Structure 1
Amino acid sequence: MKFKELLMLASTPMLMTGIVYAAKYQEAPELAQLVKSGKLPAVEERLPDNPVVVGPGREVALDDLPNWEVGKYGGEFRSISHLSDYDWNLRDAVNEGFLSTPAHKAGPIEANIAEEFDINDDYSVFYFKLRKGLKWSDGAPVSTEDIRFTYEEVIKNKEITPTPHYRFRSGCKPDGKLAKLEIIDDLAFRITYEKGCGRLMKHFGASQVWGAQYNDWMQPSHVLKKYHPDHASKAEIQRLLKEKGYNDDEWVRLFKDIHVEWYEIPRKVTAGYPNLGPWIRVESSPELIVMERNPYYFKIDTAGNQLPYVDRYVSVQVADAENIPLKVIGGEVNFHRDLIEHDKVPLLKKNEKNGNYRVYTNLVYHNAPVAMMFNYNNPDKNWQKVVYQKEFRLAVNMAINNQAIIDSQF
C-alpha cells in the first residue's frame, strides 16, 4: 500500500485547499526584513516544493482543537524548568518524524518530513521519499546522503556506536540483525529488516509525541563529515582535537561533541547545529534557554503562511522545582506542560484570575506520573527469555494495584 500526501490531502476537504496556492507565500515580519536586507533567501526558495499544510486536524485532532483558525505572527512561549540546561517542553516542541499523527492519536498517519511512504504489512520494509527542496535550518539541502552517512558511518561505526539501538535491528530485538539500507536516489530510500516489528512505527513518527525524531536516521552530514576521519584529513582532525585540548586519539569524543541526539536539542552545546524543527537553539544567558524561529521550516498553514507563528520559545531556568508555581503565578511563564507537582495544582487554580493564566487538568493523560519499563537491551539471555514474553509483561501489568496508587497519590 503506497501513501502519497497528495492523495491524503485530496481525501480531506479541509486540507484540499492547502494544495492550491498563489506562487507567493507569506512569512514572519522579522524574516521578511532579513530577506529585504539580503541576509536570507526569499521564502519561496526556503520552503520545499511541496510544504506540509497544517490545518484543522493536522498536528492536533479536531476533537482536541475544534476551533482551529489561521494564526498571527509574533510573541514568544515562556516555559520553565529546574533541570540544568534542559526543558522537556522545548525538546518536544521541535520534535519531527518522517511520519506524523495528531498528538496522542494512533491516526491518521500522514507524511511529514517524508513526502511519500510505503510500509509493508509486517513492518519489515519501509520506503520513504524526502520532500524535494527540503533544507536544514542553515539552508543546506537535505538528501539521502544524510541518511546514508548517519546509518553507514555513524550507527554502524563501532567506535561511535558500540551497541546500536533496537530500532535498527530485526524484530526490535537487541541481538537482532542490523537493518539493510538501500539508497534509491537523492530523495528516496528503503529500510529492510530481516524480521518486522510494529513498534518501529513510533520511531518513524506515528502516534508519538516525543522520541520520534528524524535524526535517529538522518543527521546533517555536511556538518558531521568535518569531524569524521573518513572525510576530514588527519591534519584537520588533529587541529580540532588540539583546540579542544583532547588527546590525539580522541576523535570519537570530538565527533560526539558535535553530533546531536534528538533529546539533546535544547542544550546550549547544540546552538547553531542544523535541525528541521520549528525553532533552533541559539546562544543565551545561563538563566534562559532560547530557541528562535527556523527560517527554513517546511510547514505552512492553509493561508500559505510559513510556520511557526511564534517568534521564539524560551525556558526560564530555576534552581528548585518548588520555585515553579511562584514563577507561574508571577506571570513569568505563559505556556507550560511538565514538572508541575500534583499537590501544587490547587494553588495554581486559586490564582488563575490574578495571574492571568488557565490550568488545564483534562490534559493530564499526556504523561503517566509513574511509568515502569523493562530493559530490553539487557544482554543476559535468561532476562531476555522472560522479559521478551508478552504474557509475562501482561502478568506484571495485571499484578499492579492501580486503584491503590490512585488512592495514595491522588
Structure 2
Amino acid sequence: MISKRLRLIGFAALAVMLFTVLACSSDDDADTDTAAPAPAPAPAQAPAPAPAAAPAPAAAPAQEPAKDDAMMEKPTFEGTFKGTFVWDGDHPTEFSEAPTLAAMVAAGSLPPVEERLPNAEDVMVVPVVDRIGDYGGTWRRAFTGPNDGQNADRLMMDMVLYYDLNGTDVIPNVAKDWDISDDGLVYTLYLREGMKWSDGVPFTSEDFVWHFENVIIDDEINPTRDGQIGWSGVQVDSFAAIDDYTVAVTLRERKDGFLDSLANYTTGGWTLHGRIADGMYGPTHYLKTIHRKFADDKDAFDKRVADAGYENWITFFKDNASPLKSTDTPVISPWKMTSPITAEIYEWERNPYYWAVDPAGNQLPYIDRISMTLTGDKEILNLKASAGEIDFQHRHIEMAKVPVFKENEERSNIDVQFWGSHGAVGLSINMSYGEGPVEYEVDEEVKKWLNNFEFRKALSLAIDPHKINEVMFLGQGTVSQGVFSKGHPFYPGDETAQKYTEHDPEQAKEILDSIGLVDTDGNGIRNRTDGKGDLVFITDYAAEYFVAYDILAELIEEDLAKVGVKLALKAMDVSLFKERRDGNTGIMMAGGVGGGRWPALLDRWYESGSAYRTWYTGGRDVYSEDSIAAEPTDPNILRLAELADLAKELRYADRKDLYIEGQKINVDNLYGIGAVGNTPAFNGVIVKKKYFKNVPPQAPNESPLQNPGIARTVQFFIEGGKNDSE
C-alpha cells in the first residue's frame, strides 16, 4: 500500500509543479491581452409565467452544499432529486438558434430553424436546471482511446424514451408518447412529426421497421440474436409502420420491463447501439448504402469492402454505421462526430437538426462542440482536471484525487461534485468456476471452497470494509453489501445491507479452522486438503479502471493474509478480461458487487467470467455471446434466474418485491462479498469548471441510465459562451 500512497503524493507534487508553470504563463499572457473577448450572444429568455396561471418551471434542485463541506457530503438517494425534466409550461411557438447556425442560414447553406425542428407542437421542451443558457463554446474533455466509447455514448441521450432525473419515471424522448396494448404484447410509439436526421432526412417509422428486418434479424449480421433488441433480453416478433410517425412493436411474449429497456442503455440509442448493430432504429437511407443485400453489383460491393481493408462486409457495415467511427453516418443526437474516436482529438459538433428547445424556444444544445483529447495515462488525465484544463469530466476521474481537486478549486476555477451509485465494491466469487466445456484443468480444491458457504462467510468477516472506505473513498461511502442505497424504494433494509459486514478476523479464523482449512506447515498460509501445498486463489482485477481496483485488491489481499488465505492478484486489461470471461476462467475478482438496475446478481456475474450468465442469456447479449455456458444446480441461483425473468415482465417501478428477494438471496448466500457502497467512485466524481452551468448537484449514477446524460447534457452551458482557453 505504501507505493499507492506515494503515487498520490507524487500526483499532488506534479500538480503543484504544473500550476507554477501555468501561473508564469498566465502572467505573460496578461501582458499581451488588449481586451477581454465579448461574450457570446445570449439566447432568448423564457417569459416569466403568469402568477398562479401558467405552470411553474421544474422545481429547483436541492441547494448545493458549501464548498468547504462538499467533500464531506455523502451521496444519498433520500429526497435529493427535486427536479423533473417534464415541461408543463407553455409550449414555445417561436424559435431561436445558435449564432453559428444563424450565420449558416443567412449564407443559404442551412434551412431556417423552423424547418429543421419537428412541427412546433412536437418539439421537445427541456427544462433548465439553473437558467436559460448561453450559446457557444467548446466542452473540453479527455478520453483514453478507441475502447472508450462510453465517453461519448453517455452524453448523447438518444434513447427512444428516457428516465427523468429520479431514475425511476419513464418520460418521452425520441418518441413523444407511447401506448401498450392490454395484453402487454404491442408497444405503439408515437414519433415527433417533422423530426430529422442530422443530414436533414426525415426520421420516420421506416427507420425502425427497416432496421429490424435488415439488421436485427439478418442472419449474417446477427446469426444468434433471434429477434432480441440490444441487451434487453426481450425478443421482438415484428415492427410495423402504422404511418410515417407511428410504429408498432410486437413482442413474442409479455415483458412489461421492455418499457424500461426503451429508456436505458439496454436498447439504448443510435450512438451506442449503431456500432453493435442491435438497437431499435437506424438511418435507413444511409445503411442501405453499406448493406450488401442492397448492393446492385455484389462484386463491386465486395471489392469496396476489400479495398477498405476489411475481411468481411459485416465488420465493414458495423464500422461504417458507427457514430463514433464514421463521419458519414447520420445521427439524431445533440452533437455529431467530426473527428473519430481513433484520432488524438476526438470531436463532436452540434447537430443543426436537433429536435429539442429550452422553455424560451432556443434550439438545443447550447454548447457548440465537444473536444476530447487522447490521454491514455489516467494520472495525466486527472492532472489535467485538477489544472482546470477540462470543463466537465466524470469518466476516469479518480476518487483518490479528490483532496488534490479540493485543494486547487480556487486556483483552477473548478468545482467537485459527487453523484452516488448503488451496489458496492468488494470480492466477486465465480460460482460457476469449472462448469461447462472449459478448456483448462479445473482445480477441484479451489472449486470446492468457492462453493462452501462457510468459507465465503469467513472471507467476508476477514475483510475490513471501514479501512477500504477510508483509503479508497475518503470515508464517503457506506459499509454495505452490494444492494440498493438507503432511501431507494428497493432498499432491502439495514439487516440485509449490513449482514456479514462486521470486521471480525478472529471469528473468520475459527470458521476456517472448523471447516478443515488449516495451516499444516506453519508458514502462515492455509494448506490444500489434497496435500498439494499452500491453497492459493487467483484474484483478478481491472487495471487502469474508473475505480482504483488495484488498491481494493491489495487491501483485500492484506486482510485475507491475516487469516491465512492467500490471494494471487492478477491485473487485467480489457482484452484479457474478455478472454477470461468468455472462457469461464475467473476464480475471484476484486471489483464491483451487485448493481442498481438488475434484479439478481446473476445478470452481473459476467464480471468474474460466469458461465451461468451465458446459460441465462442464451448468449444473446454483448457480454455473453460466444462464451461458455453452464446450467446451475444450486436452487438459490435458479431462483435468481426466475426473479430475473419475472422482473422483465414488470415495469421497473413495480419490481420492488422481486428486487428485495433477489438481494436477500445474494447476501444470505454471499455469492458476492460487498464491502463499501453508496460511493461516487464509478463515474460519479465530477470535476467541472465553475463557469460550466446547469449541472444538478446530484443525479442517479448508474451505467444503464447513462449519466451524465440523465442530467440532460443539452441544457449544460458555458457561461459567456467560451471556455477559458477560447
TM-score, L = length of structure 2: 0.47
- 1:359 counterpart SS class: strand
CA 191–164 in structure 1, closer or farther in 2 if over 3 Å, else same:
same
Q: Any conservation in 2 of the 1:132–1:187 contact (CA below 8 Å)?
A: yes
Which deviates more, 391-400 or 329-338?
391-400
Q: Any conservation in 2 of the 1:74–1:310 contact (CA below 8 Å)?
A: yes
Find the counterpart in structure 2 of residue 144 from structure 1.
205
Q: Any conservation in 1 of the 2:339–2:345 contact (CA below 8 Å)?
A: no
Q: Any conservation in 1 of the 2:227–2:237 contact (CA below 8 Å)?
A: no
Residue 52 of structure 1, CA deviation: 0.2
Residue 39 of structure 1, CA deviation: 1.1
- 1:189 counterpart SS class: strand
Amino acid at match of 1:55: P
Amino acid at match of 2:631: N
Find the counterpart in structure 1 of residue 174 from structure 2.
113
Find the counterpart in structure 1 of residue 675 from structure 2.
404
Find the counterpart in structure 2 of residue 164 from structure 1.
225
Residue 319 of structure 1, CA deviation: 2.0
Find the counterpart in structure 2 of residue 204 from structure 1.
262
Q: Any conservation in 2 of the 1:89–1:337 contact (CA below 8 Å)?
A: no
Residue 193 of structure 1, CA deviation: 1.4
User: Which string of whole-angstrom CA distances, capped at 9 and with x for unpartnered residues, describes residues 347-369 of structure 1?
Assistant: 111111111100012x1328966
**Residues 75-224 of structure 1 mapped to structure 2, 5 A cutoff:** 75-84=137-146, 86=148, 88-107=150-169, 109-120=170-181, 123-164=184-225, 167-168=228-229, 173=233, 178-205=236-263, 208=264, 212-213=268-269, 216-224=279-287
Q: Any conservation in 2 of the 1:181–1:191 contact (CA below 8 Å)?
A: yes
Q: Any conservation in 2 of the 1:293–1:310 contact (CA below 8 Å)?
A: yes
Alignment partner of 1:389 is 2:659: no
In structure 2, distance between residues paired with 1:138 and 1:360: 37
In structure 1, distance between residues paired with 2:423 and 2:389: 24
Alignment partner of 1:232 is 2:295: yes
Number of residue pairs the alignment of both structures matches: 374
Find the counterpart in structure 2 of residue 341 from structure 1.
398
In structure 2, distance between residues paired with 1:246 and 1:198: 40
Find the counterpart in structure 1 of residue 523 from structure 2.
none
Find the counterpart in structure 2 of residue 70 from structure 1.
132
Residue 40 of structure 1, CA deviation: 0.9
CA 352–197 in structure 1, closer or farther in 2 if over 3 Å, else same:
same
User: Which string of whole-angstrom CA distances, capped at 9 and with x for unpartnered residues, describes residues 174-194 of structure 1?
Assistant: xx7542222212221111113
Amino acid at match of 2:192: R
In structure 2, distance between residues paired with 1:298 and 1:352: 36
Q: Any conservation in 2 of the 1:85–1:289 contact (CA below 8 Å)?
A: no
Alignment partner of 1:377 is 2:617: yes
In structure 2, distance between residues paired with 1:348 and 1:307: 31
In structure 2, distance between residues paired with 1:341 and 1:367: 18
Q: Any conservation in 2 of the 1:349–1:359 contact (CA below 8 Å)?
A: yes
Amino acid at match of 2:308: K
Residue 318 of structure 1, CA deviation: 0.9
Q: Any conservation in 1 of the 2:137–2:368 contact (CA below 8 Å)?
A: yes
Q: Any conservation in 2 of the 1:272–1:280 contact (CA below 8 Å)?
A: no
In structure 2, distance between residues paired with 1:213 and 1:302: 24
Equivalent residue in structure 2 for 1:26, among 96, 102, 106: 96
Find the counterpart in structure 2 of residue 278 from structure 1.
334
User: Which string of whole-angstrom CA distances, capped at 9 and with x for unpartnered residues, describes residues 183-242 of structure 1?
Assistant: 21222111111322233223211xx37862255111001111012233221244134224
In structure 2, distance between residues paired with 1:219 and 1:253: 17
Find the counterpart in structure 1 of residue 308 from structure 2.
244
**Residues 283-302 of structure 1 mapped to structure 2, 5 A cutoff:** 283=339, 286-302=343-359
Instruction: Give the unaligned 5+ runs of structure 1.
Output: 1-9, 57-64
Amino acid at match of 1:144: S
CA 316–87 in structure 1, closer or farther in 2 if over 3 Å, else same:
farther
In structure 2, distance between residues paired with 1:404 and 1:151: 43
Amino acid at match of 1:377: T
Q: Any conservation in 2 of the 1:136–1:142 contact (CA below 8 Å)?
A: yes
CA 318–211 in structure 1, closer or farther in 2 if over 3 Å, else same:
farther
Residue 276 of structure 1, CA deviation: 0.7
User: Which string of whole-angstrom CA distances, capped at 9 and with x for unpartnered residues, describes residues 47-87 of structure 1?
Assistant: 0112101115xxxxxxxx4xx32111011211223244635
Residue 93 of structure 1, CA deviation: 0.8
Amino acid at match of 2:326: T
In structure 1, distance between residues paired with 2:114 and 2:386: 42
User: Which string of whole-angstrom CA distances, capped at 9 and with x for unpartnered residues, describes residues 66-113 of structure 1?
Assistant: xx3211101121122324463534221112122122235212x32221
CA 12–394 in structure 1, closer or farther in 2 if over 3 Å, else same:
farther
Q: Any conservation in 2 of the 1:92–1:209 contact (CA below 8 Å)?
A: no
Find the counterpart in structure 2 of residue 55 from structure 1.
127
Which deviates more, 153-162 or 83-92?
83-92
Q: Any conservation in 1 of the 2:422–2:677 contact (CA below 8 Å)?
A: no
Find the counterpart in structure 1 of residue 407 from structure 2.
350
- 1:343 counterpart SS class: helix
CA 132–211 in structure 1, closer or farther in 2 if over 3 Å, else same:
same
Amino acid at match of 2:317: F
Q: Any conservation in 2 of the 1:258–1:270 contact (CA below 8 Å)?
A: yes
- 1:31 counterpart SS class: helix
Name the Cα RMSD after superposition: 3.3
Larger Rg: 2
CA 316–211 in structure 1, closer or farther in 2 if over 3 Å, else same:
farther
Q: Any conservation in 2 of the 1:272–1:282 contact (CA below 8 Å)?
A: no
Which deviates more, 373-382 or 294-303?
373-382
In structure 2, distance between residues paired with 1:311 and 1:200: 34
In structure 2, distance between residues paired with 1:42 and 1:145: 25
Amino acid at match of 2:161: L
Which deviates more, 379-388 or 326-335?
379-388
Residue 313 of structure 1, CA deviation: 1.1
Find the counterpart in structure 2 of residue 305 from structure 1.
362
Amino acid at match of 2:281: M
CA 74–168 in structure 1, closer or farther in 2 if over 3 Å, else same:
closer
- 2:357 counterpart SS class: strand
- 1:128 counterpart SS class: strand
CA 406–246 in structure 1, closer or farther in 2 if over 3 Å, else same:
closer
TM-score, L = length of structure 1: 0.81
- 1:360 counterpart SS class: strand
| Matched-pair identity in % | 29
In structure 2, distance between residues paired with 1:11 and 1:118: 28
Instruction: Give the unaligned 5+ runs of structure 2.
Output: 1-52, 58-86, 274-278, 425-546, 548-591, 595-603, 606-612, 620-628, 644-660, 682-726
Amino acid at match of 2:295: A
Residue 325 of structure 1, CA deviation: 2.1
Find the counterpart in structure 2 of residue 61 from structure 1.
none
Q: Any conservation in 1 of the 2:179–2:187 contact (CA below 8 Å)?
A: yes
Residue 280 of structure 1, CA deviation: 0.7
Residue 399 of structure 1, CA deviation: 4.2
Q: Any conservation in 2 of the 1:101–1:110 contact (CA below 8 Å)?
A: yes
Q: Any conservation in 2 of the 1:134–1:298 contact (CA below 8 Å)?
A: yes
In structure 1, distance between residues paired with 2:379 and 2:321: 34
Q: Any conservation in 2 of the 1:117–1:128 contact (CA below 8 Å)?
A: yes
Equivalent residue in structure 2 for 1:254, among 309, 316, 319: 316
